[in-house]
Chains A and B, each alone.
Chain A
Amino acid sequence: MKLLGFGTEKLSIRRALVLAAPVVLVLVLIPQVFDSYQTQLLTYGLIFGIAALGYNLLLGYTGLLSFGHSAFFGLGAYSAAFMVKYLGVASMEVYILGGLLMTGIVTAVFGYLCVGYTRIFFGILTLALSQVLWTLAYKFFWVTGGTDGIRVPYRTMTLLGGMFDFSGPRSYGRFISVYYYYVLALFFASVAILWMIVHSPFGKALQAIRDNEVRARFLGIGVVRYRWIAFMISGLFTGLAGVLWVPLNGLVTPEILYWQFSGEIVFMTVLGGFRSFTGPIVGAVVLNYLKTYAIASTEYWQAALGIVLIVLVMTLPTGLVGGVSKLVGKFKSQPNVPADAPVKEASGS
């Protein structure tokens, strides 16, 4: 289980693959076992997983708490929606390329503005910039449809350059089962890329910056430039998740750009545990289920989620994955590395 707590042990890629294999197998088999509703829920979960994983490159690995990642998710989503509405594009691959291009440009600009700051100023700056995008989507209703949003029907969409299309009657079930594998493939690719990034010298440098900025600078690491690159990578993955989310949801509204959605991304990451690589994925999938069932079962689902978050913050600071790792560690009665050590040097303000 040491795999889950990153940085505690050197891991060969082969061993990681061996440990991941059963998970991969289960994920591949799920649509064969469960109905399309469950598959759809899991698809949402995986998409949020990509977003949270990208987000965690900043929070967990670089030590920057962004409160504006809804901007990138929303940018991805709106890029795809604009391509449907104004250009009549049908190909999912074009959505993804366009979405990544858009998000790439904006993350480069936002990142350039934000990475000079840390701590609370970074958080507020990202929040303010993301809110600018929200107001634009909200107010320019003749472009964005305002609160009505833009519809992105799955029926007109094609996957893999026209190999799959979903016109015709009762195509939703088919769409879900095909789209699930599409998302799953991109999810695996994202996990692999991010795993390589965080285990590369670049990733180690980010962690060095997180743990001690001054020392990292002494080692010759270009702190601000590294942060900027991390910001862009993080935003790109969140943007990709936004693109993938649109056809599944069928509609994009400004809500996805609002700061509360940024908070939800943070929530997912912390729920799973931002000190571990896999934490954000677990958090995203779990939160998605939690939210869906809370909404279905009580009018006061917001309170339910809020209480989960509060209890989590107070009792399980390392998240679900961190908690499980700790529990397993106790079972084996090994001297465990304290997982809830401070994220960064406590610097007196």
Chain B
Amino acid sequence: MDILIIQFLNSIFYASILFLIAAGLSLIYGVMRIVNLAHGTFYALGAYVTAWAIGKAAGHMNIAVLFLILPVGAVAVAAAGLLIEPTLFRPLYNRPEEYILLLTFGLTFVLEDVMRFLFGGMPLTAGVLMDGLGSFPVMGLKYPIYNLLVTGIGALAALCLWAFVYRTRFGVILRATSQDRRMAEALGIDVRRVYMMAFALGCFVAGLGGAIVVPAQAAVLGMGVDALILAFVVVVIGGLGSLEGALIGALMVSFVRTAGIQFFPEIELAVLYLIAAIVLLVKPTGLFGKA
């Protein structure tokens, strides 16, 4: 029983992180029709920046201030996005989509090495935050309070994103651009700015995922590439370009994965990819995607 509760908590913890990565991926695809292979690497970058900043600050400041430093990874990744989109992506919008896909593939290589250069090859942690919050008992076992906080942040982020996309003026513009770029342009929307903002927002949430995961799991090289593939599975199941889909997909993937590790560890990942493949075959636009 206690194992079940802990596994349930682990699943929603994991789902929060996955949702953040997948939501960014989905948002970028939805608005810009770009499949960003560098997205997982953005997530890793967020983790590294936060771990590095907290590592520098720990010992000088008290724990409450450290928590305020946490989002710095997300901000850094958003800034990187603001830099990358106009310089690298914009010149390619008139070319077939394969070129941007390849560009983002090249970007994963470059960013991975940039992180190796800046932060070194050793894993970085921000475990200080997790230890600072302590844990609570679950029927004889202990569970870190920090993980619950992550779930809370994930839920809050989902809510904010939803409100942003469906309840603000910019959200309307975003959706209009996503539905018909030319029409939006004709109506006087500055599509270039929308693209830049959408990309930066997508980067921000991916970076946030990295920032909040790093107190619980160390930032290591290669974490981005692994995360990307899982985020892919999430958006394929949920539907590329759909926020609701990213949420449902993240929950599904996390629960299947947790159950998989517990009951069928050998084919745990294979099952996920097979689910994704089956969803693509039955409904290529995903469970929540629109054609």
Binding site for B on A (CB under 8 A): 59, 65, 113, 117, 119-121, 123-125, 127-129, 131-132, 135-136, 138-140, 259-260, 263, 266-267, 270, 299-300, 302-303, 305-310, 313-314, 317, 342-344, 346, 349
Let me know if B116 and A270 touch, CB within 8 A: no
Can you spell out 8 A-B residue pairs with CB atoms less than 8 angstroms apart?
A124-B232, A128-B236, A132-B274, A260-B225, A309-B103, A310-B106, A310-B107, A314-B103
- The B95-111 residues at the A interface (CB cut-off 8 A) are 95-99, 101-103, 105-111
Given contact pairs A117-B280, A129-B273, A135-B273, A313 touches B113 in the complex (Cβ within 8 A): no
List, in ascending order, chain B residues with CB within 8 A of A135's CB: 267-270, 273
Known: A267-B102, A302-B113, A305-B106. 16 other contacts (CB 8 A): A65-B98, A121-B280, A121-B284, A124-B232, A125-B280, A131-B229, A135-B270, A139-B270, A263-B105, A302-B109, A306-B113, A310-B106, A313-B103, A314-B88, A342-B96, A349-B33
- Bound complex: CA A313 to CA B91 (Å): 10
List, in ascending order, chain A residues with CB within 8 A of B281's CB: 113, 125
Inter-chain contact count A-B, CB under 8 Å?
118
Let me know if B96 and A120 touch, CB within 8 A: no
9 smallest beta-carbon distances between A and B, as pairs: A306-B109, A309-B106, A303-B113, A306-B110, A135-B269, A310-B106, A306-B106, A135-B270, A302-B109
- Bound complex: CA A23 to CA B37 (Å): 37
- Bound complex: CA A314 to CA B89 (Å): 9
Closest to A263 in B: B105
Closest to A310 in B: B106
Q: How many residues of B contact A (CB 8 A)?
A: 45
- Bound complex: CA A52 to CA B287 (Å): 35
B92 at the interface (CB under 8 A from A): yes
List, in ascending order, chain A residues with CB within 8 A of B233's CB: 128
- Bound complex: CA A259 to CA B270 (Å): 14
Closest to B284 in A: A121
Let me know if A313 and B277 touch, CB within 8 A: no
List, in ascending order, chain A residues with CB within 8 A of B268's CB: 135, 139
Q: Write the nearest CB–CB distance from A304 to chain B, whole angstroms.
A: 8
B263 at the interface (CB under 8 A from A): no
Q: Write the nearest CB–CB distance from A266 to chain B, whole angstroms.
A: 7
**8 Å CB contact of B35 from A59, A120, A136:** A120
